[in-house]
Structure formats: C-alpha cells, structure tokens
Structure 1
C-alpha cells in the first residue's frame, strides 16, 4: 500500500530517532521500523500471496502488518482467541498460503496443512520506494453465531479510512496512542498502526491487556493509563465502564494528557458517557461495521452530541430508509470472500435516525427485534443500554422473542458480584424494575438471570470483544423458561 510505504520512508528520513512502537519487551524508533519492515518483506516467499498472522498484540504484529502492506500481499489476521476449528475455517475460506506466527504461537499455527513462518523482526534491510502489488486485508468475525465470514478490503478502502480518520481526530506526530483492544479488529489496526504510521506518532501496545479483556478480567486499567499517559485510545463500552468504575472507586481522574478516546462496538449508555467525562475521560461515541470500513460516524471533542454516535465521516453518505441505516461511500468493502462486490448503498441492518444537526442515532438491530406473544415489538438494545448505565453491570442481554415476557441476563462487574452475592431472584427483579422505571410496562423484564463474567465467556454468551452472542442468549433464556422435558420434545 503506497500510502503506508511513503509514510515509512518519510518517517525514517524525518523522524528516524523518534519512538514509534513499544511493548513489554521491544521498542523501535521510526528508523528501526523501516529497516525491520524491509527485512521481513524480503523474506516473504513470492508464492505466498495470502498470509495469516497469528501473534499477540505488540511490535511484531505491527511490523508484520506493515510488511504485508508494503509487499502487496493479502493479510488475514488470526485472532489468538479463535479455536482450532475456527482457524481451520478461516485458513480454507481465505486460501491462506502461509501463517506468520510469533515463536510462542508456532505450535498453534502448525497442523493446519499450510506453511508456517516464524515471525522474526530482528533482521534489517533497506526499504525500497515502490510497493509491489495490491495489498488487501480480510477481517473475520468471531464466529460466535456461526462460521466466521470474511470481509475483504483493498488499498482504496484502507487508504481512505486511514486518511479520513486521521483528519477527523486531528492525529499528529505528538500523539501517544495506547493500544488495549485486539489488533485483529480492523478499527484497532487503523488506529494503532496505520494512522500513527501516517503521521509519525508513537504507540504503546499493552500486550497482556487484550487477552485479559477477552476473558473478562477487566482490572488494572486506571494504572495502565496513568503509567503511559496517552493522548488517544479506542475502547469498547465494557472496558470504558471498568475504567470509570476504578477511577470512581479511587476518587481519581484520568490522565490530563488524554484528548480523544473513541468508544464503539456496542451502544454506549449516556449515563456511562457522562460518568466518563466527569472522570476526565474524553469519551466519544462512534458507530461502524466491518463491511463499511469499521467507522461510519464518530463524535469528537468540541463537536459531540450526547446519545448520538456523531456525524458521518466526510465522504460517507448516510441515509435512513424505513428506519434502517444505509451507507454509501469509498469505504464500502470489496465484498465477502466468494461474493460479489456490493452495488449501491449498504443496508446495515441497524435501525436509526438522523437529527437536524446531521448526528446519527442508532436504535438497535432490525434482526434483534423481539416480538412478544402480546404482539408488542421491543428493541433489546433499548433496555440493555438503560441497564448498562448502572456501574455494577458489565454486560447484559435482553431476550424473550416468542415468549410472554422479557428476561434480563445480567453480567456484573467485580463490584456488582459483591453487591449481588446475597441477592435472591426477587432482589434482582427489584433492581431491574428500579433501573427500568421510566420504560413502558411491556419493556420491563419480568425475569432475571445472573451470570458471572467467567461463565459468560466460557459459555460463549460473551464474545472476545465483549458483545452478547444473541443465539446463545436466546438458548439460555429458553432453557430457563421451559420445562426440561419440553426441551427434548
């Protein structure tokens, strides 16, 4: 991808001794990044056109990502939290020729019937000024509701998103980005690797934190941010809630260095956003999906509207037809693997509206709509966002499609676990009724289930990025609501 190659060459010339990427074990300047990327490009076999990348968050991942972009290969991130079955599916589906893996993950990479190359970033070479071929990246979902589906983006989409986001957030060389989300997420790739490379900024990869987040162990966030004092970061609501809770418990404030913290991937309760700002976190809600380049709209400090996900990025056209959000623009994917390139606006499946100021509001997924036996239609995200406003709730899900009432499945924070330790079912119902007191009667859950974070991740109820898996949720609620013998019928 010429955009990144040009930036690497420019940084090596103008900012050679400035810090670029660091993690727990490695620190590289911009000059060192350029020579390490060049050496890895030289070691990629010409016949290996589609490369899987299996590595933890860190400097090695960033070097491999940039090398694949400069060499014009197709890169397919292989999340460390994928099972062997999921990896097998991705490797076959994307026709991966070779897996680049860090030494600690070589054994996991082996046994899939494709070549494996150890990801070594110690060698050095001169970076050439011309890119070789057309870079592409294929992003897979976690597969929690079925086989993962590959979304293909080329240099047109990735280059445009990098420039547009950098402009929107006013990225600059002085920025210090703290990366805490898994790099297989396209948004984290853009914000932790592409944008900092474009502007010559520096990035700290907190290597162990994404793994802890993926298993629900959300602790130590306040200490991490205070130690590194970044200017920017990207979070999901569950992580933001944990960080805010820690700050409130200590009567502390977030580092004054912060100027922009994007929050997306799930609805952000207005009460949580308000608490974040009071704690000194400039939390800005955003919205996007992989099929549309990961970011469609985002709030920014000074141009933020509460309860919205911000204005669409320049160049992206957002419209609403029959309540559904439609997206057009240069970030629209090349297509799913094996599928046609989409024509015309992309129907997101999200229900939303645009206000008079051009700010986008998301009201939930069309296919998540719950229809009760009374005929009432309920958007679960509406109720979930209300419940997530309580600091003792880390995640929650609402189910009840085809039933006579709603069930709330609550996943508490560490503080919430202590609070609910002695609660009986009626205590939980009273808690939910109090939080939902402003909702219509039919939208107040009549039943409640409490699930620990560990059990939620182990059962697949929570995906690795903290989202509720709707099919698992529905199955859990159905089992609890139906006599056991009826389930076998």
Structure 2
C-alpha cells in the first residue's frame, strides 16, 4: 500500500455500513467497498501487475479498481474513453502498461493484451487483461497515477502524481463544501478525467458521502462531444444529488433547461463548474434561478483544483480564492503561478524542482479572488495594437443560444473574425447575426466580433478541437485561413483605433 493512502483507508473503515457507492440497483457500504478493494488489490499483486490502465465506463467497478491500485501500491493510468484510438494506444505504450482493466476489443488485442489466466476466477476480476512486459519507462519516485492531458496539439502528455498531492486537493474540497452538507454526489464527467476522479470520488469518500454512478450514456454524455439533455435531466431526477461537477457547456444546458421550466432537482446544494471560462452573464442567470453554482480553476499539474468559489466566499466573474493547500501569485507578466502540492514530473521528461509552477494562464486579483483573462499563448494582437484574449470573447458567444461553438481570430487584423458552429441545424444566418450582436454589447470595441463565418460541422468532428472540447487553435487557423483572407479582402475592416 502507498504509505500516504493508509490514512484514507483507515478513515473509510470507520464509516462502516453507510452506503458509499450506488449504481442502479447495486450498492456497496463502506465496509463492503473496502472488502472489494482488498480482494482486487490482492489479485493485482498475485498476477504481478505493475502499471494498470483503467479503460472502463463510469461505474462502481471503475472506483473499486482505482482504489485497489492505491491499496496495492501500484501505478494507475486512467484511459479516457473520449480519446481516439491512436491516443489510447499512445497512453498504453508510453506508460508501459502491463495490465489493463477493460474490454477485450480489437485495439487492445492489437497492442498485445489478452485475458489474464487468473482473470476469470471471480466476477470481480473479469476484464483483467495482461501483456508481456516490454521496456518499462522510468517514472518519478512516488508516482501512483499518470493522468493524460489532451492538450491542444499532438499526443496527450502524461502528468505523474503521488498519493499525497491528490488527497491534499480532496481534503481542501471537503473543507470548501462542508457547510453544504453534501450527502449524495452524482458523477457526471468521465471518471478518467482527473477533476471527477479527485473531486467526485476521493472528496466525497473523505466526506462520508454516497456516490451515485451511471454509465456515461445514461448521464447524457455520448461520445466525445454529444450531449443528450433529456437523459441528463432524467439522471438528475433519479439520483437527486446534492452536488455535481459540470463543464461550462453542461451548465449552460442546465440553466437553459431550468429557464424553460424543465424539472431540475431542488436537492442540489453545490454545483462546481470548471474546465473553461464561464460567462458572468451565465452565472447571473443561474443565480436568478437559485442554482448553487461555484466556479473554480485548476490544472492537472496541480492535481486539479487550485481555486474555488464557496458559499462563504463567492464573487461572480472570478474563479474564487486559492484552496488552503496552495499559494497563488502573479508573475511580472500577470501569469498565474502556483506553489504547493504538484506533479512529480511529466512522463518521459526531466524532473524540474522550481518552487513556483507557471501555469500559462493570465489573470489578476480582485482582493483575494483570482480573475482569469485566458491563456498566455492564446492572446493575439490586432492590427491596432490591442491585446485580445479570445477565450473571453468565445465564452460570451457560446452564451448565446444559437451558437454552440466559437473560435475568434484577429492576429494582425483590423477586425476580429469569429467562426461559429450553430447549435441547431435550423439556426439561420440572421439568428447567428443577432447572437453576435447581443454578445458584442458586453464587449469593448477592440474585442468585438466584427466579421463571422458559419462552420459546417462541429469542430471536434474535423479534429479542430480536442476530444473534450478544447479548441485546437493552430488547426483552426490552418483550416479557415483561406476563408478568412477571402472574407477580409471583401470587407471594409474596422476596429478601435
């Protein structure tokens, strides 16, 4: 067992017969959870597994295997289902995975995985696949989890984390939401994402809460970028959760549904939102509905959450205050820097020992609250010398109902150009124009959308966005460069001189 994990398991043991996990008609008390974890831990040790990949859908088994690797002192590597086949293959090979928990599909078979000889001994060990160990990549000492970030270009990057760092974040989250008395948490995001893994599993377990688990399709998340609102609302109605973790796009769907009078449970006490910029207007709409929304900010390199608004300390337009386990400051160029528990290193790269981690995000403080401006490398400069953070504008655009996705470009241009993906096939150009005009009302002249193009397909379907929705800005520019140049050649460009 990882030494830092002992306190976690001792804490769980004290919770006894309280329900820990529930998936449909199946539920496990904390005592039963520990018994299952210990059995799976023993099995992993018996088959001499060293690095275990989890390629399961959301459910009780994902949680049990994740905890079993902690209990056995092994390395766990979640494999996001929204990764492409080539990305999944990269994860399995770069992390030197010798044991995989998941389906015996064509991809995994081609990579050398087959059913373990002992895997069918009990139902709990079904789906255990192994392959002969090849050359094993070196890891920083103490690595117990490798989480892969999708990034904006190229193959995903492995972030190596230890137990103590993950649990430090989980403890801070329990403290931040303590007054909300969360008794039931519904996992909405994939458990393979670090945010749901830490904030949706470890934190509720430390709080002695009940975790509601459903397959991703049942929650309404279909594939990499499809969302079924009726399924989502049905899942909320069935689980009656006290807490959720949502991405901005899911929050927009929830708020829009509530505004249309669709049923939203009154059991909700703490809805955390992160993973991208959230429009202040959207948060104000949520407030008007009485939805308890708390925006936060984090990154995989810091084991997810760094800052969070709380019921006691909340300011719309900010990502909240730093959590107790970290310190946050701004560099000379307003780049956000973090000190405290952090990654051990990136897989395959030299370990750095810098005291402060540079995040690549720009921001400023309003008192103790952090306000983000956008990514340092995404900022562009217009032909009139104005600095624009496109994420700010894009967040305002997708706040408009007719616009599902937006990308803003204005580098060295006299006017900013947006590429817009309509939310519905029936959305007309005039509706898009009205949406752009509405978004522009809250923006200064230099940041407004001066021209726009209509996208024919969702960005993710053309590999112009990552599997989890982050824009691939270089790819978008390459794809639309000719159309933008043609558009600008035909326009009388303007801007704030």
TM-score by length of structure 2 reads: 0.86
Is structure 2 residue 477 aligned with structure 1 residue 474? yes
- Paired position in structure 1 for 2:326: 316
Whole-angstrom distance in 2 between the partners of 1:226 and 1:120: 38
| Deviations, residues 72-125 of structure 1 (Å, cap 9, x unaligned) | 111111111222211222122212222111x4x54443221356656998449x
The 10-residue stretch of structure 1 (470-479 or 37-46) with the greater mean CA deviation from structure 2? 470-479
| Deviations, residues 316-357 of structure 1 (Å, cap 9, x unaligned) | 11111224334333321111112213412111111101122x
Give the drift of 1:156: 2.2
Give the drift of 1:390: 2.2
- Any residues of structure 2 matched to 1:58-69 within 5 Å, and which? 58-69=59-70
Correspondent of 1:381 among 391, 398, 408? 391
- Paired position in structure 2 for 1:110: 109
- Paired position in structure 2 for 1:43: 43
- Paired position in structure 2 for 1:150: 158
- Relative distance call for 1:172 and 1:107 in structure 2 (3 A) is farther
- Paired position in structure 2 for 1:332: 342
Correspondent of 1:353 among 339, 364, 389? 364
- Relative distance call for 1:276 and 1:153 in structure 2 (3 A) is same
Whole-angstrom distance in 1 between the partners of 2:460 and 2:475: 11
Whole-angstrom distance in 1 between the partners of 2:147 and 2:439: 37
- Paired position in structure 2 for 1:203: 211
Give the drift of 1:228: 1.4
Partner of 1:327: helix, strand, or coil? strand
- Any residues of structure 2 matched to 1:120-131 within 5 Å, and which? 122-123=123-124
- Paired position in structure 1 for 2:467: 464
Whole-angstrom distance in 1 between the partners of 2:71 and 2:181: 21
- C-alpha contact (below 8 Å) 1:90/1:148 kept by paired residues: yes
- Paired position in structure 2 for 1:368: 378
- Paired position in structure 1 for 2:34: 34
- Paired position in structure 2 for 1:190: 198
Structure 2: stretches of 5+ with no match in the other structure: 126-140, 488-497
Whole-angstrom distance in 2 between the partners of 1:164 and 1:438: 35
Partner of 1:243: helix, strand, or coil? helix
Give the drift of 1:423: 2.2
- C-alpha contact (below 8 Å) 2:417/2:449 kept by paired residues: yes
Give the drift of 1:42: 1.2
Give the drift of 1:435: 2.1
| Deviations, residues 239-265 of structure 1 (Å, cap 9, x unaligned) | 00011111111x256322211111001
Is structure 2 residue 289 aligned with structure 1 residue 279? yes
Partner of 1:22: helix, strand, or coil? strand
| Deviations, residues 415-457 of structure 1 (Å, cap 9, x unaligned) | xx54x2x325xx63453133213433332222223336x6333
Correspondent of 1:449 among 433, 453, 456? 453
- Paired position in structure 2 for 1:140: 148
- C-alpha contact (below 8 Å) 1:244/1:276 kept by paired residues: yes
Partner of 2:110: helix, strand, or coil? coil
- Paired position in structure 1 for 2:258: 247
Whole-angstrom distance in 1 between the partners of 2:248 and 2:185: 18
Partner of 2:429: helix, strand, or coil? coil
Give the drift of 1:140: 0.7
- Relative distance call for 1:25 and 1:402 in structure 2 (3 A) is farther
Whole-angstrom distance in 2 between the partners of 1:161 and 1:51: 23
- C-alpha contact (below 8 Å) 1:292/1:327 kept by paired residues: no
- Paired position in structure 2 for 1:74: 75
Structure 1: stretches of 5+ with no match in the other structure: 125-132, 485-489
- Relative distance call for 1:330 and 1:439 in structure 2 (3 A) is closer
Partner of 1:151: helix, strand, or coil? strand
- C-alpha contact (below 8 Å) 1:183/1:189 kept by paired residues: yes
RMSD after superposition: 2.8
Whole-angstrom distance in 1 between the partners of 2:82 and 2:423: 22
Give the drift of 1:276: 1.5
Whole-angstrom distance in 2 between the partners of 1:238 and 1:141: 19
- Any residues of structure 2 matched to 1:216-295 within 5 Å, and which? 216-220=226-230, 221-249=232-260, 251-252=261-262, 254-295=264-305
